[in-house]
């Protein structure tokens, strides 16, 4: 049985994820029940890149028909600022999950990328940063004729960059077959 151990943040407990014949199951490190999600009730699998301290990681979010969500990633939180790479168990677990979900592909949305809500929030923050910087530039460099206002051009650039990076768009669909072993092999691509 393929398993994956993960901890998302300082407030969460370490969970061990596994896949049975009919469910995605997670338990605490003490073996206590954490939750389960029947495979035939899963409605979305979303892969996205998130920050993990100074590095980045791939995070998989699995949602069911009731709105329950299971989250695990390629790095495990250890302590503030320190994440332990767990790609050696994450990749095989992700392949096993996609293989187990194959009979239910018709009812599952496979998506990659940040959620629309997150993108809207980050776009809004970029807009606010750029707007404040433009106003400051107009007041300090324009009205007061102080060249120090030109320093706010950096804020305009940073706000514009955030707006460009997080243009509001929905997560893109992906082909789940990319994460399934090829016929006749133990492992698939990646």
Cβ neighbours of residue 121 closer than 8 Å, sequence gap 6 or more: none
Question: Is residue 93 left, alpha or beta, with left meaning phi > 0 and alpha meaning psi from -120 to 50?
Answer: alpha
> Token pair for residue 167?
């243009």
39-56, pLDDT tens digit by residue?
999 999 999 998 888 888
Q: Can you tell me whether residue 174 is helix, strand or coil?
A: coil
d(CA 188, CA 169): 30
**pTM for this model (two decimals):** 0.78
Bridge partners (DSSP) of residue 7 are none
Ordered by start, the domain boundaries in the chain are 3-113+171-179, 116-165
d(CA 25, CA 38): 8
119-166, pLDDT tens digit by residue?
899 999 999 999 999 999 999 988 888 888 889 999 999 999 999 999
92-120, pLDDT tens digit by residue?
999 999 999 999 999 999 999 888 888 89
Which residue's entry shows tokens 């100074």? 54
Q: Can you tell me whether residue 131 is helix, strand or coil?
A: helix
Q: Can you tell me whether residue 91 is helix, strand or coil?
A: helix
Mean pLDDT of the chain: 90
Confidence label for 170 from pLDDT (cuts 50, 70 and 90): confident
- In SS3 terms, 47-96 reads as EEEEEECCEEEEEEEEEECCCCEEEEECEEEEECCEEEECHHHHHHHHHH
Q: 3-113+171-179 domain in CATH 2.30.29.30?
A: yes
């Amino acid at each position: 049985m393929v398993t994956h151990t993960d901890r998302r943040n300082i407030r969460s407990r370490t969970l061990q994820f596994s896949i049975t014949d009919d469910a995605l199951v997670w338990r605490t490190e003490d073996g206590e029940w954490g939750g389960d999600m029947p495979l035939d009730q899963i409605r979305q699998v979303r892969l996205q890149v998130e920050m993990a301290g100074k590095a980045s990681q791939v995070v998989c979010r699995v949602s069911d028909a009731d709105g329950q969500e299971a989250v695990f990633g390629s790095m495990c939180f250890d302590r503030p600022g320190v994440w332990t790479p767990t790609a050696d168990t994450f990749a095989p677990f992700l392949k096993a999950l996609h293989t187990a979900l194959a009979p239910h592909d018709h009812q599952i949305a496979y998506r990659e990328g940040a959620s629309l809500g997150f993108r809207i929030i980050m776009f809004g923050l970029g807009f606010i940063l750029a707007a404040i910087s433009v106003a400051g530039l107009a007041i300090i460099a324009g009205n007061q004729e102080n060249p120090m206002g030109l320093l706010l051009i950096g804020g305009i650039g940073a706000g514009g960059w955030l707006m460009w990076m997080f243009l509001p768009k929905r997560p893109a669909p992906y082909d789940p077959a990319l994460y399934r072993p090829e016929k006749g092999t133990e492992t698939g691509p990646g």
